[in-house]
C-alpha cells in the first residue's frame, strides 16, 4: 500500500517534501494535489513509472503526458516556443492550462507522442506542487488522475488512497482546485487550438 503523507497546504514541510523527492528519484510513482485536481507522476525518464501511470489511467502510447515545470525558464528548456506562443503562455501561467508543444532533445523520446514528437507542459499554481518541483530541480512527469470511464479528476486524497493505494507508492494529502482538469491548448502546429475545455478560461481563444 502507498504511504499516505499529509503536507501543509500553504507552508509545505521541507522534510516531507525532501522525502517525496527522494522517493521520486528512486523510481517511485506518486499521487499529488494540484490546482486542477489530483495527478499522478514520476521522475522524467522513469520508463517503469510511465508504464505504471499508463496502466492506472488505461491510456495508450499516444496519450499526451504533461511535464509540470516550476517556471517559464524551466519550461523553455523542454519545448519549442515561438514568440506568439511565448506571450500567450506567459499570460496564462501559472494556472490551470496545459500546452501541447514540440519537445526538445531534453525530453526522453518515450515521453513524446510517438508520431508528433509533442508533449504537454504546464506551470501549476499550487504550493505543494511548486515546493516539490523546487526540491526536484527538474520537471515532474505527470497525468491528470482521471479514472477509466470518468470525466473529472479525483479531488480527495483519502479517496485516492482507498481506490489506488495498492498501485501507488505515495499519496500526498492536500487541497486541490475544484474547477476540473486543466484546459488543454494545442500549439504544436504554430497556432493555438483548444483540445480540451477545463478549468482555465477559453475566452481568449474564441
Summarize the confidence of residues 15-32 as an average pLDDT: 98
- pLDDT, tens digit, 9 for 90 and up, residues 43-83: 999 999 999 999 999 998 788 899 999 999 999 999 999 88
For the chain, give me the number of helices (H) and strands (E)? 6, 10
- pLDDT, tens digit, 9 for 90 and up, residues 112-149: 998 899 999 999 999 999 999 999 999 999 999 999 88
Q: Are 44 and 21 in contact (CB under 8 A)?
A: no
Q: What is the reported pLDDT for 96?
A: 94
| CATH label of the domain that carries residue 62 | 3.90.870.10
| Count of domains forming the chain | 1
Q: Are 200 and 94 in contact (CB under 8 A)?
A: no
Q: Are strands 37-43 and 30-34 parallel, antiparallel or unpaired?
A: antiparallel
- The residue segments making up the domain with residue 9 are 3-205
Q: Are 182 and 98 in contact (CB under 8 A)?
A: yes
**pTM, two decimal places:** 0.94
The three three-digit cell numbers of residue 27, written as one number: 523510481
End-to-end CA distance of the chain: give it in Å, rounded. Answer: 45
- The Cα 134–Cα 193 span in angstroms is 30
Placement of cell 489511467 in the chain = 57
Q: Are strands 97-102 and 140-144 parallel, antiparallel or unpaired?
A: unpaired
Q: Where are the beta strands (DSSP E) in the chain?
A: 3-6, 30-34, 37-43, 66-68, 97-102, 118-122, 140-144, 170-173, 183-186, 193-196
Amino acid at each position: 500500500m502507498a504511504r499516505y503523507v499529509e503536507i501543509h497546504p500553504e507552508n509545505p514541510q521541507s522534510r516531507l517534501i525532501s522525502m517525496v523527492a527522494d522517493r521520486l528519484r528512486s523510481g517511485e510513482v506518486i499521487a499529488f494535489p494540484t490546482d486542477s485536481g489530483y495527478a499522478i507522476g514520476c521522475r522524467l525518464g522513469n520508463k517503469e513509472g510511465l508504464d505504471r501511470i499508463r496502466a492506472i489511467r488505461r491510456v495508450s502510447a499516444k496519450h499526451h503526458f504533461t511535464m509540470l515545470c516550476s517556471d517559464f525558464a524551466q519550461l523553455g528548456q523542454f519545448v519549442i516556443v515561438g514568440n506568439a506562443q511565448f506571450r500567450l503562455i506567459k499570460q496564462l501561467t501559472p494556472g490551470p492550462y496545459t500546452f501541447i508543444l514540440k519537445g526538445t532533445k531534453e525530453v526522453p523520446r518515450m515521453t513524446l507522442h510517438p508520431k508528433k514528437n509533442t508533449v504537454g507542459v504546464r506551470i501549476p499554481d499550487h504550493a505543494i506542487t511548486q515546493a516539490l518541483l523546487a526540491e526536484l530541480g527538474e520537471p515532474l512527469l505527470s497525468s491528470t488522475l482521471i479514472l477509466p470511464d470518468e470525466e473529472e479528476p479525483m479531488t480527495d486524497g483519502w479517496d485516492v488512497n482507498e481506490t489506488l493505494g495498492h498501485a501507488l507508492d505515495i499519496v500526498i494529502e492536500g487541497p486541490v482546485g475544484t474547477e476540473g482538469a486543466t484546459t488543454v491548448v494545442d500549439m504544436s502546429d504554430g497556432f493555438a487550438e483548444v483540445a480540451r475545455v477545463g478549468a482555465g478560461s477559453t475566452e481568449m481563444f474564441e
